[in-house]
Structure formats: C-alpha cells, structure tokens
Copies of this chain bind each other. A is one copy, B any other.
C-alpha cells in the first residue's frame, strides 16, 4: 500500500468518527452543529490525526483505540482554520475550494463554531480514558500536551506573531535578522507545535519511555517545520486549483520562508529537515514496518502538491 493510500484510508475512518462525534453532542444548538460539521467536512489530509494514530501503533497498540484523541487534534486544527480565516484575521473567503465558515454562517457563528470545536476537543479526548488499554495518566498527559502546544505558549502565539508580521514587508525596510527570528517563532508555534502535539499525544497515550518520547518529539518538530516551509512555497508556486485557496500570503504581504529566502533555498531547507526526521525515527527500538509508515509520512509532507 502506498503512503497516500494509507493516509486516505485512515482519513476516511477519522472522517466518519468526527461527524459521528459532532452529531452525538447532546443539546447542541442546531445551527452551531451545522457550522462545526461544515468546517470538519471540508476535506484536508487529516495529517495530524494520521500522525497520532501511526505514532501510537509504534508501541503495539491498535490505532482505533486512539480515535478519540485523533479526532480531538483535528477539531483543534479545524477551529484554528476557522478563526484564521475571519475578516479580522487573514480575511480569506475560500478554503479548500469552498466558502469559509464566516461567509456561509456569518462572522459571529464562525467565532462560536471555532470556540465549540476547540472546547469539544477536550471533551472528546476525555472519552479516551474509557478505552481499556489506555491509562488515565496517559490521557492527562495527552491533554496537557494538546493544551500547551495549541495554546498561549504554542499555536495561538504563532498566530499572534503572524499578526505582528503582517504587512511587515509593506511597512518598512526589512531588518533581515529580526525578520528571520520572527519567522522562526511563527513557524515553530503556528504550525509545528500542533504537528508535534499529534506525535507526542500518540506517544503519551501509548506510554512511551521518555527517551522515545524525546526522539519522536524531535522527529515531529522537523516535519512540522518542513510542512510550513512547503506550505509557504506552495502558496507562491502551487497550482491554485490543487491548493483550493487563493494565495493570500502574497496578497497580505506576509512574512514567509519563500518571501524571505526565496523558493529554491526554501526547498533545500525542507529537504534537509525531512532527511533529519527520517534519521531520527530510524533510531527508535520499534518494529521496522511501523517505523517505515512514519518515515513515509515525512516523505509525503515534503513532496505533497497541496
């Protein structure tokens, strides 16, 4: 099975679970539920939940046991996209080829749909403590990881850095060193943190040793950064139809790897990160076929076209 097929199959199972979880929320306001389902249903690669399940499998568990945690991280990712697209933020009208949440449901409901998905992620994650092979302490650690990496010291700070950088290139002559520092901060937190959380949560739920946890965390950090760099490059050179979005980085004069270093040097950097990630993951004392899945996902992150 190719890695694309592996990812697609797993994504299908995750999609079914995601929709079911939202449909089963008791007493949920109907329009709010509709808005949550709309954004979750927008497709996407489901990279984060796939990474979480594949990491959990490294240690011998059945990946279906961590479906709740996998759905939790996708809910957090989806909430971040909804808020990111808001008029006050990136002001994007389309995402993955469809109108964004605030275009369809209005701005107020889009804010609430994001809030609800974020909160619900922790409710769903809690459900994972009812799975037989998973220890309470593993779920608590996973919740702590998700909250830290998605929150004020993680993804939200990356988003705040992004706001700070917006129009940077417009407003003043670029101080290259300061721009590079800010860009590293944004990439680390805005994208890499949540990808790292996926892998770390899988490891925590599996009860991985601290040594293996650290190796996996470094593996994830490298692919997280690679993911954002390729995203920046795709925003410049990518096929708009394949991407399903409208190159808003250039329109907003955003600080990106592509704008700061150029397209080719960015590609070289991304390739180096993936080589590092593959090397790291190769040192794990886990079954070779399961390690290979994660190495292949790393390769997929580098070579994807959307």
Which residues of A line the B interface, CB within 8 A?
A: 22, 25-29, 31-33, 36, 79, 83, 86, 88-89, 106-109, 111-112, 114-123, 126-127, 129, 136-137, 139-140, 143-144, 146-148, 150-154, 156-157, 159-161, 163-164, 189
Contacts and interface: CB of A to CB of B under 8 A. Distances in A.
Contact of A109 (B140, B143, B148, B163): B163
Contacts of A127: 144
Contacts of A88: 106-108, 111
B108 A163 contact: yes
Contacts of A120: 147, 151-152
A88 B113 CA distance: 13
Nearest to A121: B147
Chain A contact residues, majority secondary structure? helix
Nearest to A102: B88
Contacts of A116: 151-152, 156-157
B140 A122 contact: no
A83 to B, nearest CB: 6
Contacts of A25: 151-153
B119 A151 contact: yes
Nearest to A144: B126
A153 B36 CA distance: 12
Nearest to A32: B160
